[in-house]
Amino acid sequence: MRVRRCGIVMLEPAERVEFDLARLADGGLYNVIDWTAFAPHMGRAVTLTPAEAMALGELSPSEWIEPAELSGDLVESLLAKGLLVEEGSEADARDQRVRGTDWRSTAAVMHFASRWRAAETADLQRQFIENYQDNLIEHLGPAPPAVGERVEAKARLPLPSARTRTPLDALLDGRVTCRNFDRERAITKADFAAVLYRAFGARAVDDYAPGVELLKKGVPSAGGLHPTEAYLLVRRVEDVAPGLYHYHPVDHALEPIRAMSLDEATALARRFVGAQPYLLDAQTFVIPTSRFRRNFWKYRNHAKSYRALILDIGHLSQTLYLAATELGLAAFITAAVNEADIEEAFGLDPLEEGPLAVSGFGIRAAQRSEVEFDPLHAVWQAG
């Protein structure tokens, strides 16, 4: 058996306070430094002893060594924690996939350390209220100003107004994030298809170079690679059974993954969005996932490659909003999602492809029960 350190790992020293009765004469409190290791191939963090942290920092991620070259206790503990991988093991295979995807190490750590599983936003909101409900401003201070002004008002240069309103102005004014979906009605298959095509559909396929096929879509993408896929959780769409699907952007077609009942689809939606209750009645959930290897194929170990993936999601979500708004539908997007649960539901390997958000669209309810930010009263009348 030979071993080596995993390819990407980050160590974070964190301080905590403990009480020791034997030190009561000095106050009883003392500081302890804990070491936490984040390793993308494991998808979780582990706590290390100082000795383990020191040994890990001296191990090579490329050179295989015999375990006898390390202290026996350290070998066993680091193997158990997944930071030391045995040649030919499952941990080695997962580590190889991370290495082969050409992640920037800092981006990989950030991505995998921020994934949720089975988190419920109601619990987080309850903790926030318990901590800050008495006086939010007293605890957090005033919010930073809405505009970062650089000069005094008299020094600003006025710009010509947009004299003539266009259909785009009306569309942008009416783009309001929805938290009130009609729980009974279904959207038409034609509207469903139109929103998907305008946001995710390929308008052209270009054989850019031998072995390099690019898609032309209605949104920009770094290098024209468009590494973002659209996975769907359908609840209420006419002539489309509830269940999980993948949208094929070239064929403009659905690829069925798993059929389910409406109740099952709603329960799964709850898991996807961290139990945010005001989103659960949406007729369609669209989960944009990033195919990491597609992006990193060109931008290998690049400082901006992961940022480009995030930009992709932003471009697509805004286009989905506008496409839905134009048809009189409503939309949302949220980053408070359980990535691990989504990956499992669609059978995704998180080392190859993963969600960064969940969006959705459907029919807005006739009555408002949840607050929506609509200062222009484009959807809801004042009062």
Residue 159 lies in a domain: no
Residue 291 lies in a domain: yes
In this prediction, residue 133 carries a pLDDT of 67
- pTM score: 0.89
Last residue of a domain, one of 81, 100, 119: 100
Candidates 5, 99, 13; CA nearest to 58 is: 5
The torsion angle over the Cα atoms of residues 162, 167, 170 and 174, rounded to 10 degrees, is -140
pLDDT digits (tens, 9 = 90+) for 222-272: 999 999 999 999 999 999 999 999 999 999 999 999 999 999 999 999 999
In this prediction, residue 162 carries a pLDDT of 77
CATH number of domain containing 266: 3.40.109.10
Domain of 33 in residue numbering reads as: 3-21+28-100
Q: How many domains does the chain have?
A: 2
Whether 85 and 175 map to the same domain: the answer is: no
Whether 347 and 257 map to the same domain: the answer is: yes
Low-confidence ranges of the chain (pLDDT < 70): 23-27, 130, 132-134, 383
Residue 79 lies in a domain: yes
Residue 377 lies in a domain: no
Residue 376 lies in a domain: no
Last residue of a domain, one of 100, 124, 146: 100
Whether 81 and 214 map to the same domain: the answer is: no
177 close to 373: Cβ distance less than 8 angstroms: yes
Residue 158 lies in a domain: no
Whether 39 and 172 map to the same domain: the answer is: no
